[in-house]
Amino acid sequence: MRRAVLIVIFALLLAGCGGEKTVSPTGSVEGQPPPAAQTTTGATAAKGDAAAGKEVFAGNGCASCHTFAPAGASGTVGPNLDEALKGKSPDFIQESIVDPNAEVASGFQPGIMPPTYGSDLTPKQIADLVAFLQTG
């Protein structure tokens, strides 16, 4: 009788196994863009306001590293955006902001542009910045 009870208990324990849920991380995962970027990268970039994007560009120090005529910027640490973004899609520009090492411009090293803009900027700020960068 005791043996039968142990078998039933063991069977019940086994029946509860295998029902684990698969969970996804909610925070940053090394080697992946931040969660805010994951919701927008690869999708069609949201429509932004170029005038507001100019303020995002100025307020986040972009001019200290990049040349971009519409911003009156002449930085040389990073690529000249007047040339590097010519003919590029909004999705490419957005990815360059939120995951700057995804494709590094020729002649520049990876890891120079901070990879945190995808989490530091709101989706609206990113959309506005993309709209502004398309004006070049």
Does 13 map to a domain? no
Taking the whole predicted model, whether its pTM rises above 0.75 is answered as no
Per-residue model confidence (pLDDT) at position 36: 44
Does 86 map to a domain? yes
Per-residue pLDDT tens digits for 10-65: 444 444 444 444 444 444 445 544 444 443 444 445 689 999 999 999 999 999 99
Does 5 map to a domain? no
Percent of the chain with pLDDT over 70: 66
Per-residue model confidence (pLDDT) at position 73: 97
Does 129 map to a domain? yes
What six digits make up the tokens of 37?
Answer: 């970027």
Range of the domain at 135: 34-104+113-136
User: Rounded to an integer, what is the distance from CA 106 to the centroid of its chain?
Assistant: 21
Does 74 map to a domain? yes
Per-residue model confidence (pLDDT) at position 7: 59
Q: Is the dihedral of CA 101, 106, 108, 114 positive or negative?
A: negative
Instruction: Report the mean per-residue pLDDT for the chain.
Output: 79
Count of domains in the chain? 1
Does 75 map to a domain? yes
Does 11 map to a domain? no
Percent of the chain with pLDDT over 90: 65
Does 131 map to a domain? yes
d(CA 52, CA 54): 5
CATH (domain of 77): 1.10.760.10
Per-residue model confidence (pLDDT) at position 106: 92
Per-residue pLDDT tens digits for 72-81: 999 999 999 9
